Amino acid sequence: MIITIQKPASEILEGLKGLKKVFLVGCGECATVCKTGGSDELRKIKEVLEKEGKTVLGSCIPDAPCIASQIKTEWARHIKEIKEAEAVLVLACGLGVQSVKDNDRMGLPVSPGCDTSFGAVVDARNNFYEKCSFCGECLLASTAGICPVTLCPKGILNGPCGGVNKGKCEVDKDKDCAWVLIYQALEKKGGLEEIKKIRKPRDFKKSLKPHSVNAR
């Protein structure tokens, strides 16, 4: 799940400055769950834009705008409106925004309506928790499914550090130390030998950006 926060209306309007006819794109998955790019949010931003004298020609909400085929399908369905548009406003993550840009043959200005925050898991109450940093070197098999790269503010691979106090992190005293959690989890399943292993420094080549994987 990619977590987004909708930009303030003033910032959205600034991004569309001088452009009157707008087509809206939402996201049926992540941004809908975050309440930043679903049908309600598109309706509300349409009202904001129209109050400012802009014309919203139409909208679409592909399930995943980050998938090129879905954007191409929606563009074919809405080609008449898009041909008249001067800009596209995308209420989705940065991946969705760039996917729209890459697959828009009209070459229209594409403006983001959201800020992309982080990747998260979602609990039963729809709370969002960052658990993975997409580092390219997963340690979860040896850390009882708890990621020290993400959950430790220092990203320590051989912890805990000297700042841990009563199981809490010195950076944020309200948070449990990731390595204390790892120790407790390994202890429960009889795997404490894992915490004795010395982990090599991360290979940052594996997290060089931008990434790409060729489909075969």
**Side chain identity, residue 152:** C
Cβ–Cβ under 8 Å, residues 212 and 136: no
pLDDT at site 25: 98
- Percentage above 70 pLDDT, the chain: 99
Residues in contact with 109: Cβ distance below 8 Å, sequence separation at least 6, in sequence order: 19, 86, 87, 88
Query: Is the CB of residue 197 less than 8 Å from the CB of residue 144?
Result: no
The residue assigned the tokens 């940093």 is 133
Backbone angles phi, psi at 206, to 5 degrees: -75, -15
Q: How confident is the model at residue 204 (pLDDT cuts 50, 70, 90)?
A: confident
Tell me the pLDDT tens digit for each residue of 109-133. 999 999 999 999 999 888 999 999 9
Whether the pLDDT of residue 209 is over 80: the answer is no
d(CA 25, CA 38): 9
Tally of residues, the chain: 216
Q: Whole-prediction pTM value?
A: 0.86
Pairing status of strand 21-25 against strand 55-60: parallel
Give the mean pLDDT of 45-60. 98
Domain boundaries, the chain: 2-119, 137-196
- Mean pLDDT value across the chain: 94
CATH top class, domain 2-119: alpha beta
> Residue 216's pLDDT is what?
66
pLDDT of 215 reads 67
